[in-house]
Copies of this chain bind each other. A is one copy, B any other.
Amino acid sequence: MASSAFISAAKVVVGLAVSGNGSPSGAHADRLSVPGGFALISLSGISLASSPTLRFPQQRSRQQQQRRRSAPARAAAVETLETATAEGLVEKSINTIRFLAIDAVEKANSGHPGLPMGCAPMGHILYDEVMKYNPKNPYFFNRDRFVLSAGHGCMLQYALLHLAGYDSVKTEDIKQFRQWGSTTPGHPENFETPGVEVTTGPLGQGIANAVGLALAERHLAARFNKPDSEIVDHYTYVILGDGCQMEGISQEASSIAGHWGLGKLIAFYDDNHISIDGDTEIAFTEDVSARFDALGWHTIWVKNGNTGYDEIRAAIKEAKSVKDKPTLIKVTTTIGYGSPNKANSYSVHGSALGGKEVEATRENLGWPYEPFHVPEDVQSHWSRHVPDGAAIEAEWNAKFAEYEKKYKEDAAELKAIISGELPAGWENALPKYTPESPADATRNLSQQNLNALANVLPGLLGGSADLASSNMTLLKMFGDFQKGTPEERNVRFGVREHGMGAICNGIALHSPGLLPYCATFFVFTDYMRAAMRISALCEAGVIYVMTHDSIGLGEDGPTHQPIEHLISFRAMPNILMLRPADGNETAGAYKVAVLNRKRPSVLALSRQKLPQLAGSSIEGVEKGGYIVSDNSSGNKPDLILMGTGSELEIAVKAADELRKEGKTVRVVSLVCWELFDEQSDEYKESVFPAAVTARISIEAGSTLGWAKYVGSEGKAIGIDRFGASAPAGRIYKEFGITAENIIATAKSL
């Protein structure tokens, strides 16, 4: 494209400052195009319009750099107006971000250009002027965290990481946007792209993750900061859109964030009035800011998010000054800003602009460059972040060395949280049980484990969605994490399962040594499944403490009784579904859960008392499946009975009866299918010899999936209907989850 061609037509689409919650209907028709792209530049009195590369001589950019090199200077940038010329460079940088997004989506012919085009200004200000990070160490502990909750706009984040100098997003990676094996997948994924903090895309998850990140900061700051050393001190920024706002999970997380008063959480609500189905008028007309006021947030409205850079800066300054409340900055933007024919419409949300419209947008925004080009002055301007980032980290490291000298124990604990290294011998804290230990519900045994572990694992913290006294999740030696007591470790999530799960993902991804657990009734995993799936995908080792795990809960009835839940998690990739049968197995489940820091664990626990079984063991649980008892020899019993959790006891009873009748019977605990499937073929054969086809499984849940272990000739005893409201014993009997049924089935084989 000739650089001279675009000048006369330079236009931008102005932001629609829609008033209040008012109707932007007719906005499409009213779209205005006015000259403006270079308005700020002309104020500087320097005529640069015909040669963009000349506009901001490197020299000026270097002066700028020097002014900004140290962290305090950068913070000051938020507080002072840039010169008009600097604003010109800002605009150029913003357009660089826009075009990197446009070009990447165009090349992939897939993706979402609209958000990056609209949010480029806030993205630029955050990464270039506000945030503290080290591009060469994306895991620098004290960095500010950024979450793009509206994850479909990921090209915004990739462009920013690229400009900031992260090695994970080179030009070549941007060219590979959404391609096999690239670091630039279709939505932000922390496990693919260092610099991305969490995994977003499913709407509303990111804001809840951000609440978790901010909680972690608040908690660690309260535990470790000293009057003379703020060793933990960072902000959490998040951009969320209309879609995130409509999701219930965002309400849950925002409500509890307001309750906790997480003052260092700053959320930008990209108020662009467009979602996939069109104008938000068709389904979303609530007053979002008023809602956040009601939730106890501080709210600010930036009316011109497209070009009101100072408005954005002032809002961030104001947000930082409010220390006892999280802040929502509603930023009214135009989706697809700059595209003359598609801006402010759903058509720019989730499709490539198309060659013609890309051209028109280049012309409109005065962009003469080749695709994927970062102008030199922009590159030069951003290049300071590598040395700046290194300096920031070095400064913190020096600070930590000082801290370590003064506060040795705290420093060691914080170090463990930062590194994720488990204290030597931690597993010795796990309680042990013998068959003589009293019968107990695994939910109670779970509490014994949690309390034992809290003594040795400095990063263990968590709680329940308003069922602490049923889930048995309270850590007795700690108080509640609350606004006034953020150093405590019992988290009260309220009845907000979905938010809870996503908050825990944020906590887990804040620091490798944070071990969040969270709890509800097992059936209510249905409320939080989307967050749990993301735990699995994003490798957040959250421990899900799920009690009341079957019809064994009795009277609450079918709405509360899980049936299909075990198999539904067994089928989910990268998550461990554990259903311990007694004390040793519960301890084993915790051992596995703590060790698997990149694979979340779901512990299904009983409401009802269970005996301590002979033969159960922690080591057995680590193998996923193992022989609990056997009266045969030569690896060829007459019958193999297998079960999990509360039904293992029933299998043991049936085996005892059958043995009395002279049969050789093996009882196998299949406490974690995923771990068992990972064992060697030899081990598997030692547990389930191919030659033994008489096999019966028993589990108070769906029989689906058990065919894998019982084989074509075996039988699965389970429940393939909904539960019922009655005392548990009665339901077990009516549903045939009994030793008698096992024995009868065994005889039929």
Contact = CB atoms under 8 A, between A and B. Distances in A.
Interface of A: 108, 110-111, 151, 178-182, 185-187, 189, 199-204, 242-244, 246-252, 255-256, 258-259, 275-277, 282-288, 290-291, 293-296, 346, 464, 466-470, 480, 482, 492-499, 523-524, 526-527, 529-530, 533-534, 536-537, 554-560, 563-564, 567-568, 570-574, 702, 704-705, 707-708, 711-712, 720-722, 724-727, 730-731, 734
Nearest to A570: B704
Contact of A555 (B110, B258, B291): B110
28 contacts: A108-B555, A110-B555, A178-B557, A178-B727, A180-B726, A186-B560, A187-B559, A201-B560, A202-B524, A247-B252, A247-B495, A247-B497, A247-B527, A248-B248, A248-B496, A259-B283, A276-B469, A277-B466, A277-B468, A283-B492, A283-B494, A285-B296, A287-B295, A288-B294, A291-B294, A529-B529, A564-B568, A571-B704
Most B-side CB within 10 Å, residue of A111, A200, A248, A560: A248
A730 B573 contact: no
Given A466-B246, A469-B277, A705-B567, A187 B556 contact: yes
A725 B255 CA distance: 33
B494 A284 contact: yes
B558 A189 contact: yes
A734 B179 CA distance: 12
A13 B509 CA distance: 48
A413 to B, nearest CB: 27
Most B-side CB within 10 Å, residue of A259, A290, A704, A720: A704
Closest 6 CB pairs of A and B: A248-B248, A185-B725, A283-B494, A564-B571, A290-B294, A180-B726
Contacts of A151: 559
Contacts of A712: 711-712
Nearest to A247: B495
A275 B492 CA distance: 12
A638 to B, nearest CB: 19
Nearest to A244: B495
Given A291-B295, A559-B199, A573 B722 contact: yes
A537 B555 contact: no
B572 A564 contact: yes
A385 to B, nearest CB: 27
Contact of A246 (B255, B570, B731): B255
A276 B725 contact: no
Given A247-B496, A559-B151, A572-B563, A276 B467 contact: yes
A39 to B, nearest CB: 36
A435 to B, nearest CB: 30
A53 to B, nearest CB: 34
A251 B707 CA distance: 42
B110 A180 contact: no
Most B-side CB within 10 Å, residue of A259, A571, A704: A571
A674 to B, nearest CB: 10
Nearest to A483: B285
Contacts of A288: 294
A179 to B, nearest CB: 6
Given A187-B557, A201-B556, A283-B492, 12 more contacts: A180-B727, A186-B555, A248-B496, A248-B498, A277-B467, A285-B296, A288-B294, A294-B294, A563-B571, A567-B567, A567-B568, A711-B712
A287 B529 CA distance: 28
Contacts of A734: 180
Given A277-B467, A464-B277, A246 B555 contact: no
Contacts of A204: 495
Given A246-B495, A492-B277, A571-B564, A727 B202 contact: no
Contacts of A469: 276-277, 346
A713 to B, nearest CB: 8
Contacts of A246: 252, 255, 466, 494-496
Contact of A111 (B108, B287, B555): B555
A502 to B, nearest CB: 11
A726 B536 CA distance: 20
Given A201-B556, A726-B178, A734-B180, A259 B285 contact: yes
B283 A294 contact: no
B558 A275 contact: no
A179 B497 CA distance: 29
A471 to B, nearest CB: 10
A108 B554 CA distance: 11
Contact of A556 (B186, B558, B726): B186
Contacts of A259: 283-286
A527 B708 CA distance: 29
A421 to B, nearest CB: 27
Nearest to A280: B494
B482 A282 contact: yes
